[in-house]
Structure 1
Amino acid sequence: MKHIYLIVAILFLFTACANKEMKLPNQNSSKNTTITNTNTNIYTPSSIFTQNNNEEEPEDFRIAIIFPSKVVGKYGNSTINSVIGYLLFQNKKFEIESFDSEDESFENISNTMDEIKNKGYKKIIALFTSDALSKIRNISTFSDMEVYFPLISRNDAYFITSPNFIYGAISYENQMKKLLELSTGDNAEFYEESSIGNMLKGIYERLVPNIVVNQNVMQSNNNFKSMVTNEKLKHTNLMLNTTLVKSSIILSQLYAYETENGAIMTTQLNFDPLILSLTQYEDRLNLILANSIEDTDPKLTELLYLLDTDIKYNWVNYSTLVGVNYLFSKNKNALIKNKIVNQEVLYNTHLYYSTKSSFKKLELK
């Protein structure tokens, strides 16, 4: 249904706004996409956009997005949509252009940044991972621009001190610290051998000196009877550093085999409404989830929903939204609750439990 709404909205924008122009140059190239909006009065049937009656127009909103498609391909489109949605919501003239560096090699990043510089962009959203930092520090082009990294935390970038770099990744460490406030007894962990699994495992082991059960969940295995019936698991507080599907199976089997564990805890990794449909309510009775995404303007949320972009549960999209808002407002508006201080986004961590059909915030006394 949302796709029907999107088609209607797009048709309306193109037919009802004679002075609005959206250009897609270089359509034969998969390297770049440019979208230009020259109108300041945009209307839609659902009133998502409002008329701007300010007599004085600020400088046009111009921003470039650079991403390595072979590394973060699954995030590229939704990140671009997050920025487009924000700029449309602002109801100002804007230009956004995407640049694909393909990978995180020094040569490709450097060449792509030269192209961005030659086109005069000063504000950049860079969808690189922490693995690219060692190359970025040696590319002088970055020093002339204000750059936001949605996927990198300042802890990952401890050896880069450039004042024009801003880091926006959520803090899994802070989320685990918050979850561990609920732990009053022994602690256990299930984790997967993956990049995210190993990262979470490392954080957890730094925070918890004595782990009673520290179990690797094999990716090829979906029968965890021997794991969940482990006598050592009884009455422990279990941290699930496993992906959504594995976590759902584990929760189901913990309940099915009547494991007498304490709190079951997990980070943003599993804060997803899909877990509500993959498990029964009884499976989740002891489950506590951490979330650092804040509520934002409902009209903006709906606009992004029409663009097939989720900012309620997808933290990368939300981080991008925080970043683009900061690049153009510098903490001066109340659209986004999170502030950026000392070159990093300040995230709060909230704990949630699940009802039969939703998540509810856990209020700690």
Structure 2
Amino acid sequence: MRQILILICLVPMFAFAKVQKISDIPPASINYIDIEHGNCDANCLQNLVNSGMEFSFLSRFKESNANNFLSNLYAKLSGNIKSLIAFGGLDGGSKNSSNSVKIAVLIPQQVIKGYSHVVSDAIFSYVISQNINADIKFYLSGNESSASLRNALSQIKRDGISLVVAPLTVNGARYIASNSDPNTFFFIPTLNYSSVGSSSGNIFFGGISYEDQVRELLNKSSSNLIIYHDGSYLAKTLNGYVEINSNNVIAKNMVDNSKRALFDTIDEKFNESDVFLNLPLSKTEFVINEISINKAKPKAYLTTQINYAPKLLTSIEYGNRENLYIANSISYIPSDISSTASLLGLDMEYNWVAYSTAIGIDYLYSTYSGANKQRVFDEQISGAGIRYDTKIYKTTRYKFIPIN
């Protein structure tokens, strides 16, 4: 049985009634003490990571036994973010990297913001859990201006890299489609092919298909439809998909940030209609609760991936969501990948960008690197995009359950 001793020295600050003085005693520190016998080499450390044994990994880690990916993981888990090797754009693979496959990650961090960490953590999760022989370099372009992307692509080419994961918006993807080297293969996890409509055979897209999700949801509806949306770009896109695929829309109501009471939008039509919620979770919660307060009972609530999150189960009372249908395109995730992601604080089961990123690097590495590695994800590439298996879910009191 593995035993880990964690020594934590907690020193309080003493506060006095009239004078406040900071203690001269050094601040609290955490040390991970290895009391197990034997040396834990890179394979041993890898097994601890794959098994989700975070504290064992932290206590048994030795820099001399680790490759750079394990060193990165240790730095992140121990809070020593400044020691991360890969995120500055340095070699991230095994320390003997002469035969490593080179993969670039192009991140316009000022544009995609928090998704920068989602993408990097998903890549770490895949690379560490699969123990692949790869050097990962991160290229931080800042934004998606032509100059920034041109400079990043030039540097990637100078570094001799032909496999690129690029979490971009539509503007960045269009630049890549028009200006990329046809011998360089790109995977864009943040967009569906329909958003750009151009690939030239060297660009693959990992974004989920919201239109497929809308069509699947509409299969559950045989009534008039009332749409609630927040006026965002995504909401307008979803509204369009609903209206293209259904002739039953009788009303569209916008919910702004003030979340004003919806009394004037709720009437007798609701009891004979389905409500399509093209809203983020906080506004979905608000709308469902407002409808419930007004004693209206729609036949069904319909919503896409944007509301597939554990928080929905606690933020909306079960009685108000018994007739809620949610589309989800996230399927099987290998346990070693999900365990590693969990160590990094990433719940891949509910984050489609992370899921798409892991599928993308799996596809690029297994298909184009010459490493002769079998893919671990089931999704296939159809044309220039991932073909997802979209399922419709309902909720119990405590979890989501598929119904098709």
TM-score by length of 2: 0.77
Q: Does 1:326 align with 2:363?
A: yes
Q: Does 1:155 align with 2:194?
A: yes
The CA deviation at 1:167 is 0.9
**2:393 alignment partner, one of 348, 352, 360:** 352
- Larger deviation, residues 328-337 vs 144-153: 328-337
Aligned pairs for 1:46-125 within 5 A: 60-125=100-165
Gaps (5+ residues) in structure 2? 1-31, 33-51, 73-81
Partner of 2:67: 20
Q: Does 1:36 align with 2:76?
A: no
Partner Cα distance (2:255, 2:290) in 1: 13
Contact 2:177 2:203 in 1 (8 A): no
Partner Cα distance (2:145, 2:384) in 1: 25
Partner Cα distance (1:247, 1:279) in 2: 9
Q: What SS is found at the alignment partner of 1:97?
A: strand
Any idea what the Cα deviations from partners look like across 1:259-298, whole Å, max 9, x if unmatched? 1211100000100011111111111111000000002112
Partner Cα distance (2:189, 2:87) in 1: 21
Any idea what the Cα deviations from partners look like across 1:232-253, whole Å, max 9, x if unmatched? 3231111100111000111122
Partner of 1:127: 167
Partner of 2:339: 302
Q: Does 1:176 align with 2:214?
A: yes
Partner Cα distance (1:29, 1:333) in 2: 27
Any idea what the Cα deviations from partners look like across 1:89-132, whole Å, max 9, x if unmatched? 11232211111111111111011111111111111001111122
Contact 1:288 1:353 in 2 (8 A): yes
- Larger deviation, residues 209-218 vs 328-337: 328-337
Partner of 2:183: 144
**1:235 alignment partner, one of 272, 281, 286:** 272
Partner Cα distance (2:261, 2:60) in 1: 51
> What amino acid maps onto 1:283 in structure 2?
N
Any idea what the Cα deviations from partners look like across 1:142-173, whole Å, max 9, x if unmatched? 42311001112111222x24111101100000
> What amino acid maps onto 1:308 in structure 2?
G
Partner Cα distance (1:263, 1:200) in 2: 18
Partner Cα distance (1:127, 1:79) in 2: 7
- Larger deviation, residues 217-226 vs 304-313: 217-226
Partner Cα distance (1:6, 1:98) in 2: 27
The structure number with the bigger radius of gyration is 2
Partner Cα distance (1:19, 1:7) in 2: 15
Number of equivalences: 340
Contact 2:87 2:137 in 1 (8 A): no
The CA deviation at 1:210 is 3.5
Q: What SS is found at the alignment partner of 1:103?
A: coil
The CA deviation at 1:217 is 1.2
Partner of 2:310: 273
Partner Cα distance (2:93, 2:309) in 1: 34
State, as a whole percentage, how many aligned pairs show the same letter: 24
Partner of 2:55: 8
The CA deviation at 1:35 is 4.7
Any idea what the Cα deviations from partners look like across 1:155-202, whole Å, max 9, x if unmatched? 1222x2411110110000000000000111211111111122122122
The CA deviation at 1:222 is 4.6
Gaps (5+ residues) in structure 1? 41-56
Partner of 1:187: 225
Contact 1:222 1:249 in 2 (8 A): no
The CA deviation at 1:14 is 3.4
Partner Cα distance (1:322, 1:60) in 2: 20
The CA deviation at 1:29 is 11
Contact 1:222 1:246 in 2 (8 A): no
> What amino acid maps onto 1:11 in structure 2?
L
Any idea what the Cα deviations from partners look like across 1:39-69, whole Å, max 9, x if unmatched? 79xxxxxxxxxxxxxxxx9952321111111
Partner Cα distance (1:298, 1:30) in 2: 24
Partner of 1:284: 321
Q: What SS is found at the alignment partner of 1:190?
A: strand
